[in-house]
Structure 1
Amino acid sequence: MDDENEIQRPPAFPVGTKVKSRLHIKNDGTFIGADIGEILINKGDVGYIRDVGVFLQRYYIYAVDFIDRGKIVGMRKREIEIEP
């Protein structure tokens, strides 16, 4: 578990920011309609920050809209980066 409390600072990615996935993202059981372990997003897929939520009062969760895949996936800061 990370010791950092992300919500002490503003979100790293504001709504509307174009981002890309730094990793392959698999379903951890929270994405309805996909099997656990199924790859939802591939490394390099591009999306846009649609919303920013908080998990465990410590971490920002970024709702990323991957338009080409037709999926909105919750991701952590370490899983995405700004796409120029």
Structure 2
Amino acid sequence: MNIARDSDIVELDGPPEFEYGQKVRSRLNIRNDGTFPGKEIGEVLVKKGDEGYVVSIGTFLQQFYIYGVDFVAQGRIVGMKRRELAAVEAFQAETQEAV
């Protein structure tokens, strides 16, 4: 069997999938795993389809990129993995700067 697990993937071999300021959408409901202060473990932080903007890019376990996404409507910044996000539209930083 060819089962892919998160532990088998090393994203840091390439560049981040998303850029600072890029608008993204949550592909899943995201629950507090205990790392989000002020919310109960298991409480939904972000619902599938919620949109936000990448405000930080970090790493986790020298393996994954973690994107800090500001979900403005929810009033919170949530750390998310690439597989939990989708680009809302192609990022055009160069085009926006030229205008």
TMscore range, shorter length:
over 0.9
Corresponding residue of 1:16:
21
Corresponding residue of 1:49:
54
Amino acid at match of 1:82: A
Structure having greater relative contact order (Cα 8 Å, sep ≥ 6): 1
Q: Deviations over 1:28-82 (max 9, x none)?
A: 0000000000000000000000000000000000000001110000000000000
Identity percentage over the alignment? 54
Corresponding residue of 2:96:
none
CA RMSD of aligned residues (A): 0.7
Corresponding residue of 2:81:
76
Report runs of 4+ in structure 1 exceeding 4 Å deviation: none
Tell me which protein shows more strand as a share of its residues: 1
Give the match's secondary structure for 2:20. coil
Q: Name which one, 1 or 2, has greater alpha-carbon Rg.
A: 2
* TM-score for both structures, normalised by structure 1: 0.97
Give the match's secondary structure for 1:51. strand
Q: CA deviation at 1:4?
A: 1.5
Corresponding residue of 1:63:
68
* TM-score for both structures, normalised by structure 2: 0.83
* d(CA) in 1 for partners of 2:20, 2:38: 25
Aligned length: 84
